[in-house]
Structure 1
Amino acid sequence: MSRQPGTAAVVGGGIAGLATAALLARDGWTVTLFEARDQLGGRAGSWERDGYRFDTGPSWYLMPEVFDHFFRLLGTSAEQELDLVPLEPAYRVYPEPEGAGPSDPVDVPSGRDRARALFEGREPGAGAALDAYLDSAREAYDLAVDRFLYDTYASYTGLLDPAVTRQLPRLLPLLTRSLEDHVARSFSDPVLRQILGYPAVFLGASPDTAPALYHLMSHLDLDDGVRYPRGGFTELIAAVARLAAAQGVELRTGARVAHVIVEDRHARGVRLADGTEHRADLVVSTADLHHTEQTLLGPAERTYSNRWWSRRNPGPGALLILLGVDGELPQLAHHTLLFARDWQRNFADVFGSPGRIPDPASVYICRPSATDSTVAPQGGENLFVLVPMAAAPELGHGGEDGAGDELIERAADRVIAQISQWCGIDDLASRIRVRRTITPADFERDLGAWRGGALGLAHTLRQSAVFRPRGASAKVDDLLYAGTSVLPGIGLPMCLISAELVVKRLRGERGAARLSEPAAEGSGGA
């Protein structure tokens, strides 16, 4: 049954909160959004100093059709709102070198034909194997988008659809074996295996725990290509905030929600940290689910118990190193990955117990200044370095110019030296003019992230699709959830979909169909 619009309070000003607020307002709700920090964006934040501006979160623009669909729901388009630049190469890889010198880079191109040539050049027969792998990845991706990602799972009707049941013989092996095993069945070259396995990290998992179904990720970078919104991902946040405001949403920053008001098992608004109350007919929390349930709700109002949380995987933490560097760095592409040879130990350090910061680490480097002149002073470079590490806030806080906790800053020094050696940038350390480290302890303090997780609940089998937390409280009516902790999962596109799932619930729409776009309304389009 469709819910009549009224007043809504949205907790959290990340992309999920902004998108939820915009879509609710489009449906006639009177919406106020509350963001604890002075800046919108949440994990997709921004930091600037001395002319260097850094995105502090997401940096890969994938699944473009999800963004296109969201913008069309609000009467516009990605092309109108963003200046999207295709990246070539899609990314560069540096394997761990054999000796003391730098390693030879491997440029991974966008587009299947060139990707096939790269694979065949490294391993005879791997080109044909990649074709079959990407055909399967595309089929899995299309199935996920058409049948799983836009389903609220308010019922299991969608899972019984013949279009899904017919796929079960093919799906079951992809759900019961790991991505690592799936890749190893077709490829022997260690670098090719790493290229196909590393996307598991974007899902908050390791290749040996992510279901093989997630080989669909390779369709996104190798088949579909990689783009960058000029100005950085802060421009994406600004665009969604602008659309929310245009729909009439009141955006309140510096407004920390301390409690969800619950009366007679119904959410009735929020109480802020300063004691003021904002009454509403509906509350949607896009804050981290653990923070929402453990901090904003009382014990009797929580859907998930402490025992439930103790058995969940928070995904990886991250050591972020933001570097403003003098001079050019042609050794690095817009996206660069450094792959440690001891793959198993690397992921054991990140996901094992006790958790560690790997050394040497598999490192991701974003150099947006390769594409965008607005993010660094003339003659300078902007580096965002991400080191997957344990979600372990006890390892310490980061800081500016080496002022973080000693263990963290020593690890950052090692990573800078590693980049210098592996990529052949001998003088990198001496050219650094701006430096900041960010850690799981900072994610926990600043973003309310459970155990300091950098992304959200890992996409292991038991934390994906129907097994992932739903978008509605089981204990409190009129309390809905969106964001990385709940369906459908991690990443900017998933957050946009989670916002759409809120609207589907309120409209009483079930199944896996997307909301109708304005141009298609009345014509049966989706």
Structure 2
Amino acid sequence: MSARTPGRAVVVGGGVAGLASAALLAQEGWSVDLLEQQATFGGRAGTWEHGGFRFDTGPSWYLMPEVFDHFFRLMGTSADAELDLVRLDPGYRVHFERFDEPLEIRADAEANVAAFEALEPGAGRALERYLDSAREVYDLAVHRFLYGTFASRTSLLAPDVLRQAPRLARLLTRSLEAHAAARFADHRLRQVLGYPAVFLGTSPERAPSLYHLMSWLDLADGVYYPQGGFGTVVDALVRVARRAGARLHASTPVTSVEVRRGGRRPQVRGVRAGDEPWEADLVVGAADLHHVETSLVPQDLRTYDTGWWDRRDPGPGAVLALLGVEGHLPQLAHHSLFFTHDWRRNFDDVFGGSRRVPDPASAYVCRPSATDPTVAPPGYENLFVLVPVPADPGIGRGGLDGAGSPAVEKAVDGVLHRMAATLGVPDLQDRVVVRRTLGPADFAADLNAWSGGALGPAHVLRQSAFFRAQNASRTIDGLLYAGNGTIPGIGLPMCLISAELVLKRVRGDTSTTPLPVPTAATGPA
């Protein structure tokens, strides 16, 4: 796609990638309309308020803060100006089955080195080397892969990439699980270093060891939290998009991408929302890519048809529980992980051939009320519980007060029972005053999520970097993509970068580094 003169643009989907795309295009001079099917914006990064509690219903880890700040600086502001960020210490706490004492991951890398050394002699120095490698690979990824559209493969021939080619080949063909096991003997340390694979939508044995770079983010770079919850991030994106001139339309589901045929190549001419046409010179599909390609794009013009998706991995589904709990739970950190001892079986249940809801299951618990007094009434706690399960809408939907599908409610009850025993809070379930659950069928129905997936296509080798779905249609001129289904991948930072990659496509920019920040951007560097 060559550089384009700003005209009319329609963005389909009002999640993080859609809002960021609308903002950047409007800033570039495009006349932008964003169409979102839900009554609110945010997509997976949603919120729900009930009984004085305010719950985030999606992302809850704020990692890669420089990506957020870079986006806001492109918009002439800064993360400091738009958000009230707190660095968490501990970043998170890990509870292990068969071990009484949890492991705290601190905000200071030196403290984490000491904690590793306390569990396994020599592991402290091994972690230092592991993090040095993770930082080197992370920096290479940022400068050569994450911010590149792969429209030109010359970036892969850059001297720094060629120098690292043998190392990259080893990291891509060895699993993250094997990479950690070769350096650490303690089962708990291997679990801590392997768990970032879940952020990538896969398991440690399926993720390439290139992704050990993720450990730099949580063990050294730090974990943050935006006061008020992740809804404030969405609010900030809405704010900067409107400030730039984008028009945001909620409750406006798009039913088709309209194409002008004839000439050398089909050209996008807009979208249709019900009976209403929205003409455009550029369309950005920022909704679930599977939905855009298989439901909105004309069948004969699909870049990624049903057969293509049948050969891909949708990543995990999730059972979620939003819980308001009476009394305090100081035993829980802001972020807590509960790991089963039979690590391989748990992941095989989620990602293996005969997929099922794990029992017992590893789980993640967020207690934002540990940091933020605004998310729960005085004297109560706000808990968000996530149980990774197969991406299968057949597992069912959630509901209020235990009214969800049996498999969904059983998974939540199992985790609560284990939490009560681990934390020494036998009356935990009796103290729950608000309970709402969500299952894979909710993700499918509410977000058009492929297979009811919670995160997006898994970052296995064949779905990473230039092997991942690209961000431009191969058959329709003027149709671009943003979000978790396309490059660079899943997670809030990646969605922000995907919006920047849309702008690069529009400009005809094949660079691999972040776009230059306008000199008028505010706030400290």
> Alpha-carbon deviations, 1:345-401, whole Å to 9, x = none?
000011023321111111000000000011001100000000000001011111111
Code of the residue aligned with 1:143 in structure 2: it is L
Residue of structure 2 equivalent to 1:135: 132
Residue of structure 1 equivalent to 2:74: 73
Code of the residue aligned with 1:379 in structure 2: it is G
Residue of structure 1 equivalent to 2:516: 516
CA distance in 2, matches of 1:516, 1:411: 47
CA distance in 2, matches of 1:255, 1:116: 51
Code of the residue aligned with 1:171 in structure 2: it is L
Residue of structure 2 equivalent to 1:404: 404
Residue of structure 2 equivalent to 1:297: 297
Give the drift of 1:105: 1.7
> Alpha-carbon deviations, 1:295-336, whole Å to 9, x = none?
111210111122211110000000001100000000100000
Code of the residue aligned with 1:306 in structure 2: it is T
Alignment length (residue pairs): 517
CA contact (8 A) 1:15 1:42 kept: yes
CA distance in 2, matches of 1:120, 1:504: 45
What aligned pairs does 1:135-214 form with structure 2 within 5 A after superposition?
A: 135-214=132-211
Residue of structure 2 equivalent to 1:247: 244
CA distance in 2, matches of 1:424, 1:364: 18
CA distance in 2, matches of 1:502, 1:227: 27
CA distance in 2, matches of 1:410, 1:223: 36
Secondary structure of the corresponding residue to residue 244 of structure 1 = helix
CA distance in 1, matches of 2:253, 2:202: 31
CA contact (8 A) 1:469 1:485 kept: yes
CA contact (8 A) 1:325 1:380 kept: yes
| TM-score, normalised by the number of residues in structure 1 | 0.97
CA distance in 2, matches of 1:219, 1:185: 18
CA distance in 1, matches of 2:305, 2:46: 30
> Alpha-carbon deviations, 1:129-174, whole Å to 9, x = none?
0000000000010000011000000110100111111111211111
Give the drift of 1:520: 8.6
Residue of structure 2 equivalent to 1:36: 37
CA contact (8 A) 2:293 2:305 kept: no
What aligned pairs does 1:16-415 form with structure 2 within 5 A after superposition?
A: 16-97=17-98, 103-264=100-261, 265-273=266-274, 275-415=275-415
Code of the residue aligned with 1:514 in structure 2: it is P
**More off after superposition, 218-227 vs 260-269:** 260-269
Give the drift of 1:238: 0.3
CA distance in 2, matches of 1:190, 1:253: 48
Code of the residue aligned with 2:299 in structure 1: it is P
CA distance in 2, matches of 1:445, 1:455: 15
CA contact (8 A) 1:87 1:226 kept: yes
Give the drift of 1:511: 2.6
**More off after superposition, 164-173 vs 445-454:** 164-173
CA distance in 2, matches of 1:368, 1:395: 28
Secondary structure of the corresponding residue to residue 328 of structure 1 = coil
Code of the residue aligned with 1:270 in structure 2: it is V
Residue of structure 2 equivalent to 1:444: 444
Code of the residue aligned with 2:56 in structure 1: it is D
> Alpha-carbon deviations, 1:259-296, whole Å to 9, x = none?
111111111111113x1111111100101111001111
Give the drift of 1:202: 0.3
CA distance in 2, matches of 1:234, 1:206: 28
CA distance in 1, matches of 2:457, 2:21: 20
CA distance in 1, matches of 2:352, 2:202: 12
CA contact (8 A) 1:119 1:192 kept: yes
What aligned pairs does 1:491-510 form with structure 2 within 5 A after superposition?
A: 491-510=491-510
Secondary structure of the corresponding residue to residue 473 of structure 2 = coil
Give the drift of 1:513: 2.0
State, as a whole percentage, how many aligned pairs show the same letter. 60
Secondary structure of the corresponding residue to residue 257 of structure 1 = coil
Code of the residue aligned with 2:217 in structure 1: it is L
CA distance in 1, matches of 2:230, 2:408: 26
Code of the residue aligned with 1:125 in structure 2: it is G
> Alpha-carbon deviations, 1:393-424, whole Å to 9, x = none?
01111111111112221222111111111222
Compute the RMSD of aligned alpha carbons. Answer: 1.2
Code of the residue aligned with 1:158 in structure 2: it is S
CA distance in 1, matches of 2:312, 2:410: 30
CA distance in 2, matches of 1:114, 1:413: 35
CA distance in 2, matches of 1:421, 1:344: 23
Code of the residue aligned with 2:312 in structure 1: it is R
| TM-score, normalised by the number of residues in structure 2 | 0.97
Secondary structure of the corresponding residue to residue 21 of structure 2 = helix
What aligned pairs does 1:431-510 form with structure 2 within 5 A after superposition?
A: 431-510=431-510
